[in-house]
Amino acid sequence: MSGKVLLIEDEPNIIEAIKFILSREGWQVHAHSNGETAVQTVRDRTPDVLILDAMLPGRSGYDILRELREDISTQSLPILMLTARGQTKDREMAERAGASRFMTKPFSNSEVLDAVKALSGA
């Protein structure tokens, strides 16, 4: 199994953990940590799955998500939203903005892997 995953996250330890988990399973993982240029990076990289942090420098993950859902070329992109805040309102906000799935930090390796597999249809 393989595919392209774009990880938009600004915490280096989380980037390393997710890259390790997914690349071990054959995924190509690219990381990006700037909220302001995230949408253009998604368009340029055309990932199979996007993992998007809710809180990023420069721009919120929710704003990025809404913009991606308004663009015809990224409307159907599977997006896993990550957040350190796991309250119901955060989950509802992510769902309203168009997240395919929602996961709170900290997460287990198997949770991330299972979510990416499910989102990619693998």
Domain of 53, in residue numbers: 14-120
Residue 77 resides in a domain: yes
* Alpha-carbon span 84 to 75, nearest angstrom: 25
CATH number at residue 99: 3.40.50.2300
**Tens digit of each residue's pLDDT (9 = 90 or more) over 9-24:** 999 999 999 999 999 9
The pLDDT of residue 33: 97
Strand order in the sheet with 4-8: 28-32, 4-8, 49-53, 79-83, 101-104
Residue 3 resides in a domain: no
What is the number of domains present in the chain? 1
Residue 8 resides in a domain: no
Residue 1 resides in a domain: no
Please state, for a pLDDT cut of 70, what percent of the chain lies above it.
Answer: 99
**Tens digit of each residue's pLDDT (9 = 90 or more) over 28-85:** 999 999 999 999 999 999 999 999 999 999 999 999 999 999 999 999 999 999 998 8
Which DSSP letter does residue 24 get? Answer: T
Residue 19 resides in a domain: yes
Sign of the torsion formed by the C-alpha atoms of 20, 115, 97 and 55: negative
Contact 89, 69 (CB under 8 A): no
The pLDDT of residue 1: 52
Amino acid identity, position 87: Q
Residue 48 resides in a domain: yes
Residue 38 resides in a domain: yes
Residue 9 resides in a domain: no
pLDDT-derived band at 122, boundaries 50, 70, 90: confident
